[in-house]
A and B are shown apart, each in its own frame.
Chain A
């Protein structure tokens, strides 16, 4: 009898063991355990084939390569493209060298990224903002001129800010895999490389709007939503409609009773669940077009849930993490020699308080 069952492999991430299928990457195995050990990812995007391995945000240390060869890997590896092996031991948040390396990665990503978060429409749901907040250093050391670009117009729906781009290639993969004809890609090389539409052709594919959701930063944003509102003042609601081209499952972003933006629904890793078409995204901005399912679940830690207090309120883990990191047992030893003078003998209480007698 041949065992058709796939032999599962055991991986340990930050001391937590998990069994996964062979061929899974370290990042996916860590995500299977949960967000407390999952490394951050800026370029890796699960729905897009071939993405990952560019931003180095997900670097981890492999303390033991496999059960057969338990030697550690010599350098930190990108967890999103490294497949697991049986008996692999991975250190992520538990290794200070990894955290230190990530601090450097944040610094590199921010070298050419302008600090225009107050202006940027992505602020509040920006992967780079979250990444820098959780892993970055507080202050910048960069004093040189930042890379700037001439503004290019890529159509009436999508706004391209090349200065904010971190070259994660996610939008290129989206255009490659979701849309049939790709009209934009990365031009030039190295420091000079930039995302551009070939001969500045407008992206008129029916699914081109998905590059907005895919972009981890504010390089590609919704032109119809431009400066309409800050993300954390709008209220996301899950809704769907019968759409002939896509699944029609979206999130509507409300300001008062007005739909100011339509996006695809995202999972807990901030990845699009189902890509939506441009008609849904840009043309159907009326409540009457949609069947509303209920409020979108937003993590309490997100700024989007600031000043909103839903019934199922969950407290952000930040406070608990900070307390755990800075925990010190309370030193309860104190000079009690003075207490004897202040304290009265117990029989004294019996005399002054008649109620104490009974």
Chain B
């Protein structure tokens, strides 16, 4: 966890240093208080003491209390700043890192895990810093200081306190050792209860169709019982802790007094009163010692959680950025709108088999190239290589005659209009979503409207309350899948790219809309090069070139007619969708 604290704003260290000093002062003041307390005790006990003395000591004690409060407030301020600064800067670092990760690295971590790491894990550590750091500094200082203060008073009392601390720590230790691993089991069981309930809800039609309500209920009862049993065990075991803790603390005070009574009884008259004062003071110092040990125990319980979070954050931060910008200077763009694959192979790092093997083809300006193949054939991976979401393992890819690795990533991306398989929409207006990104040029409202029209989205956008300024919820949850896809396509059109990449982007559209959209698009993008991944033969049969992929290998390149003649895989795919007669048309 300490590693994470490195490289933060200099202020953080300054704040921690100041806090350290202030906590020292605070502990000093807090431990000074029992001294005044004993003064007051002695004064009250002794006949003929002056009121002024009591007031004076009371006043000093109050000053100590006030001083400790003030320093606690200042420390609180600094520590809160440290925690907040930590999360500010670490979150930023993490966010920037994730933005620059290659897509396969993102997949490896999984998006949801990355989100948790950037949100929950950082909050977790922030909480630990806010509470733990203070305790971590304060507890040992208090413990050591209080111990030195009481050590020379009476060995009987010291021993008693020692025993109390040992009993407490043992009890806490044993209970935590028993319960902690079971807490994880409880967490898993809660997830299971959730899982079964989710199952019941998502599969409600299936469950009812199979008359499986009882079956599901039995399943639920089973995990529910297990959860309840485990919870009961945990909580009942844990319930021992508090009474024992209180018992130890009360008994400690009581026995300090009882031993004190014996000591006083046996002492010389002259020592009795001071011994009595010592007794009162000792019992309060002993409490301080116990409290600081309890605080330490608490930190050790909080620590593992925070350190797991820290480890997860480090994992991301330590990941190397594999995709870097090329040398932009001196790039002579010779061609426009061409894409060329030269013996491209790709495999995930650490994988054993190639996902794509030895793919070569060239697309000329204005051409439409389609990729087809069964699920897992690698067609999506192939076109995701062009915007450098992944880097090729072997071979080279050229855009406009220049190796894509030589481009600055932003320049490369500016040439491409990419529409992903799953439409991505952001929280914002329709306009903002369509005119998204920094493309080197401002996209005009006119352009946006035109793009929306071509993408067949105009109809439903105009039906929305605020038309082009209508709000789109995060991830586009307030519009349908087909609508999302059309807006995602409009986004690519508005950009006026040299090269379009459609990664199975028409799947949520019905055939009719799909056809119209492509017709309109073709009219509009005569100059642009188009790369399409598709499932439907209808979508691609008129492409200039169709590349058939099977298990990562290119098994056929050609037009629809050519492939029907010479590519068995293509023919099978085609026949599974349209009948022989229609193919012949």
Q: Do A and B come from one complex?
A: no
